Amino acid sequence: MPISSIAVGHPAEFGSVDALRAALAEFISVLIFVFAGSGSGVAFAELTNNASTTPAGLIAAAVAHAFALFVAVAIAANISGGHVNPAVTFGAFLGGNITLVRSILYWIAQLLGSVVACLLLKVATNGMTISAFSLSTGVGVWNALVLEIVMTFGLVYTVYATAIDKRSAGNISIIAPIAIGFIVGANILVGGAFDGASMNPAVSFGPAVVSWSWENHWVYWLGPFLGAAIAALIYDWIFIGPATHEPLPTTDYS
């Protein structure tokens, strides 16, 4: 079972130069991703007099997020693994691909990156509204929770298949950032009109902090973490398995 490969790590890892560099890479990638993704929504709302929920606005958001995530994952892949998402980090942790200590560093960096991106966006737009994620009219919290679970499942499953699986070498690993960006863009086209299609607690956390709007915010944490857990456990258990699983290097424990 993949749960047996979970590694807590050592507290000394909090001060490890390698771990701190990886956390910094996550911070920068999330900052770039959120600034471009949330910025596209602000820009489209300005150009269309707050009509960002139109089909054109949804397509614009999907394209912007897909492109930005492709870049964000690619530039951090060789340093931190290019998670750019606390849910992806959680999924990697459950599969034994990252220690809990390093996961905590990643989570802190990812959340800070999102908050800083939204603050910079607010300054750059002269105080324009950075809207928090919210549910559309007629969409209940449980509907949104299911959406977030399913969409994040697809995202983390894609991450496992193209980036984490050690057999994903050559052309598959090269296209991993593209595939990850594409699945997020596609999911936004599906769920964007219902709950904003977060799939990423950091992406929803930054706007919530800047706008100080927390209504139903728990959905954007519980849904992605549950979806990530299901994807990680299924892929690691069925498609990787104990015979092909590579344990973490001993350096990650000390």
Flag whether 64 is in a domain: yes
Structure letter (DSSP) for residue 94: H
* Structure tokens, 49: 């007099």
Any domain includes 82: yes
The verdict on residue 248 lying in a domain is no
Label residue 78 exposed, middle or buried (CB < 10 Å: 0-12, 13-18, 19+): exposed
Residues 108-139: tens digit of each pLDDT: 999 999 999 999 999 999 989 898 999 999 99
- Considering the entire predicted model, what is its pTM? 0.90
The DSSP annotation for 17-68 comes to: HHHHHHHHHHHHHHHHHHHHHHHHHHHHHHHTTS-TTSHHHHHHHHHHHHHH
Please state the domain count of the chain.
Answer: 1
DSSP state of 170: T
Domain that holds residue 230: 13-242
**Residue 249 belongs to some domain of the structure:** no
Q: Distance between terminal CA atoms of the chain?
A: 24
The CATH number of whichever domain residue 158 belongs to comes to 1.20.1080.10
pLDDT at residue 254, as a whole number: 36
pLDDT in tens, 42-91: 888 777 776 556 788 889 899 999 999 999 999 999 999 999 999 999 99
Tell whether 134 is covered by a domain.
yes
Q: Environment class of residue 19 by beta-carbon count within 10 Å: exposed (0-12), middle (13-18) or buried (19+)?
A: buried
Given a contact cutoff of 8 angstroms between Cβ atoms, the answer to whether 185 and 210 are in contact is: no
In a domain, 97, yes or no: yes
Tell whether 164 is covered by a domain: yes
